[in-house]
Structure formats: structure tokens, C-alpha cells
Amino acid sequence: MKLRSPRLAVRAIIVHEARLLLVNAYPGVRGSDLWCAPGGGVEPGQSLPANLVREVHEETGLTISVGELALVNEFHDPRNGFHQVDLFFRSRITAGKINDAWCDPENVVTDRHFFSPGELLTIRLKPDSLPDVAFGPAGTARYDPLENIVD
């Protein structure tokens, strides 16, 4: 197996009305129950915040402002050499509302939902530290060690 350079991605931690926004973003796996923060791959030549604004709008229809870095998480698939580094930024909604009619132009996100802290205990999400970071105090960014990818 040939190791590849890590893929860089940005994700938004959006807590609105005491609920965390998550998306189900697994193309072709409509039945997946795994949730994650909205965001995606970084395109060269754009700043990290600009990439995040674009990705969140594509996946949710929302316009956001990007705040401080809150979490660095990385995962890999040792079977095929895939390795991704996610940078999570605290963000807030500046325009728009979640709308069931919204369609991700890349057809990756299949659902978007705000979850209360209690509801987060009933779903499968990654990374595991996301609820603590999202609802915890702002401050120094946290690092999650490399973990194996999950389906």
C-alpha cells in the first residue's frame, strides 16, 4: 500500500439556540447513521475560512462567519493509506435557515439537523470529542490523536 499525503479539510462547529448542527455526509450510503460537522476539503489558493464558508453553504444553504480554531482531528484508513486532517472552527450563522428542500450541489450531504446535548448521546458521530468541544468553553484548540476511519 502506498501512503498518500494527508487531505486537509475544514469543519464548522455551529451551536445555535443550544443545539449543534451536524450533517450526514456520505455519498452513496444513504443509510449511514454517522453524523459529522459540516465542511469539507480545502481548495488551494483560498484561505481556510473562505473554504469553510463555501463548504457550509454548499452543504446547508447557510451563510456563516468563521471564528477561532477549536479542534484538530485526524483519521486514517490503514487499508488504503487515506489520511485526513480536519480543522474545526467555531462559527456562527449570519444568514439563512435549515431547509429540507436544500440540496447539496455535490449530492454528498443527505441530511442536516441541529442536536441538543442530550440528543447527541443517542446518535453516532465523529469525532467523539466534538460535543465536549462544541459545548465547552472557548480557549486553546484541542488535538485529537490519529484514529482509524469509521464507516
User: What pLDDT shows up at residue 117?
Assistant: 97
- Which pTM was predicted? 0.92
75-120 per-position pLDDT tens digit: 988 888 889 999 999 999 999 998 877 888 887 888 899 999 999 9
Q: Are 68 and 79 in contact (CB under 8 A)?
A: no
Instruction: For residue 128, name the pLDDT band (cuts at 50, 70, 90).
Output: very high
Q: What is the pLDDT of residue 1?
A: 62
Q: What is the mean pLDDT of residues 30-41?
A: 87
Q: Is pLDDT at 29 greater than 60 in this prediction?
A: no
Q: What one-letter code names the amino acid at 51? A: N
What's the mean per-residue pLDDT of the chain?
Answer: 91
DSSP 6: P
Q: Which domains does the chain have, with CATH numbers?
A: 7-144 (3.90.79.10)
pLDDT at 31 over 80: no
Instruction: Name the 3-class secondary structure at 26.
Output: coil
pLDDT for res 108:
80
Q: What is the pLDDT of residue 46?
A: 96
Which helix (H) or strand (E) is 21 found in, with range?
A: strand 19-25
